[in-house]
A and B are shown apart, each in its own frame.
Chain A
Amino acid sequence: MREFLRRRPLHLPLPFGDNAHAEQLGQLWIRCPSCNEQLYAKEYEDNLKVCPKCRFHFRLSSQERLALLLDPNSFEELDHDLRGVDPLSFRSEGQAYADKLPGYERKAGTPEALVYGLGAIEEVAIVVAANNYLFQGGSMGVAVGEKIARAIDLAVSRRLPFVSVVATGGARQHEGVFALMQMAKTTAALARLGRVGMPYISLLTDPTVGGVPASYAMLGDITIAEPGAFIGFAGPRVIEQAIRQKLPPGTATSESMLAHGMIDMICARGELRSVIGRLLRLLTNGPCRRTSPGEWGERHQEAELSGVGEGLGLAD
């Protein structure tokens, strides 16, 4: 079965960038980059941007993603205006990164590469965060890290489940070491969510690469991937350079991650809402759940204060 999965992935991962989106053929038709089928634009939209022939899942913007996942009108965006700055005074090929940011924003339709807020899936209230790949490849700079951390903080303080949707090329190089440090920032925030007993569902979509899966995105209590997503530490080009050969088909895809025990399930786009809804109901109704956050918080504090460390003379 494993071999079968490895040899016959649903489709091959495509190179990063806008060319992995639908190629417009005039007003009414687009071409599927995976099977080359010409698709009628309306049919493609109606099918949630999944190719009806080969099931290729096209990338979605954060707006499309939230519309698809959340109950209608349930989304309340927070910190919309939180934006990245240019901490390194970074210049690339004569252009300042600071000057490019407004352009990214116009192109993507969001002020940063991630939006977050309150929402509901099948009437279960959640905190949700979603990457916008259209903004600089969904890359994680300081603003994205800050928004993820704030989303988690909110889930902790409101005692809500956290659902994150990832579509990213990784850490934003233009913010250098500050981007790297967002891996620690987001991960440190997650530890607190675990302590209040709230579930974290991580949905990985194409692509999920670099510092993001190497931090909060792979730390979900439940990890779900869309079919055929590229998921890995390095992108296809970088792996090919490192191993000096063409990428073996199926490497670092959702299917390979599932076969190797790295994720819980692959879920087609059309089923995501109901699967996540069911999981949320299952995971937030435990009969042993402490209903009073106050009590939980106090117990947690007690546990911390009486924690390990006495042996070293570290205890308070």
Chain B
Amino acid sequence: MQTSLEFEAPLAELQTELDKARTAAKPGDDEGDRLVARLRRQLDERLGAIYAQLRPWQKVQVARHSARPHPLDYLRLAFTDFVELHGDRRFGDDHAIIGGPAFLEGRSVMVVAHQKGRDTRENVDRNFGMPGPEGFRKAQRLFSLAEKLGLPVITMIDTPGANVGVADEERGQVEAIATSIATMCSLRVPIVSVVTGEANSGGALAIGVADRVLMLEHSTYSVASPEAAAAILWRSAQKAPEAAEAMRITAQDMLHFRIIDRILPEPVGGAHRDPTAMAIVLRDALAEELDGLVGLGTTDLVQSRYLRYRGLGPYREG
């Protein structure tokens, strides 16, 4: 399944041609194969050109694409033996955050991630990837467990933001986010965080404090979703595209600002076009980052994480 995005419209014709050529090509039909290969190359070139020039709001569309791989896909494709653990031991189990131990290239790690659904039913179950307090408290429990057992932590971020609702407020949404951040700030095992889709608000940062922060090429990071920011700034969620532009939310901006350490290139035309290829890039990058961190002493680790966040953001004196 491939839902085409608005800015991909110019390629529709070429895509149809390619699909036709593919169906027509018989085994051993060299001419047909060559046609398919030529069209494929053309399509990739034009897709590549379009994706190299995406505006921030277009990146938001890619980051939210319904076929974009989600953390559970990466757990299947880039990790092995993932065992999902449930519940915060306080009140409930929030399906917008998943987590548990898995192997990454033979090494045990603790994975904590947001999880969106792919269809309406799944999205209702996972609340569109917007966690409430139980989600953050489950994350805290898993962070502490990882620390106790000496497992490095890998988090994958993909959330429109923390959930907004009366019940969430009553069960301590703010406290849950704050405590998650605090837990990560002091955690004595390495943390690598990767933004796989959209990373918005305290709901993203609550599992995003890390020693190394990576982003997929077309993912975004923002203090609030463009819709929420537009509502706050201009009282109109319809101005989300303008907010996306003004707030500098792309992975490229984040690297420039030194908020993140590294961008992981996506397959031509976005991760949703080739989840397996994306997963391999992700797996290799995570393994490499962990290699760089497991040699550090715990004191150094916590201290350098402190310094990383203590130094963030420009201001002036006098």
Contacts and interface: CB of A to CB of B under 8 A. Distances in A.
Given A173-B229, A184-B209, A81 B173 contact: no
A232 B165 CA distance: 10
Interface stretch (A25-33, A89-97, A116-124): A89-97
A252 B169 contact: yes
Interface string B190-213: 000000000001101110010000
Contact of B171 (A81, A247, A260): A260
Interface residues of B, number: 70
Contact of B188 (A183, A185, A309, A313): A309
A145 B312 CA distance: 9
Contacts of A1: none
Main secondary structure of the interface of B (DSSP, over half): helix
Contacts of A213: 174-175, 178
B313 A87 contact: yes
Interface string A304-316: 1101111111111
Task: Bin chain A's interface residue count.
Answer: 35 or more
B179 interface: yes
A312 B151 CA distance: 7
B89 interface: no
A218 B177 CA distance: 9
A84 B315 contact: yes
A7 to B, nearest CB: 14
B223 A176 contact: yes
Given A177-B222, A315-B297, A316-B299, A191 B185 contact: yes
A188 B185 contact: yes
Contacts of A216: 178
Contacts, number: 229
Nearest to A305: B299
Given A79-B317, A190-B182, A239-B164, A185 B309 contact: yes
A305 B173 CA distance: 34
Given A176-B223, A233-B202, A218 B174 contact: yes
Given A173-B223, A177-B254, A233-B202, A184 B247 contact: no
Contacts of B204: 180
B310 A149 contact: yes
A21 interface: no
Contacts of A252: 166, 169
B268 interface: no
Interface in A175-223: 175-185, 187-192, 210-211, 213-219
A180 B202 contact: yes
Given A176-B249, A314-B189, A214 B148 contact: no
In this complex, which of B310, B315, B318 has the most chain A Cβ atoms within 10 angstroms of its Cβ?
Answer: B315
A209 to B, nearest CB: 9
20 contacts: A84-B316, A173-B229, A175-B313, A177-B221, A179-B313, A180-B204, A181-B313, A189-B310, A190-B182, A211-B223, A218-B178, A218-B179, A234-B169, A243-B166, A248-B166, A251-B170, A308-B150, A314-B150, A314-B189, A316-B298
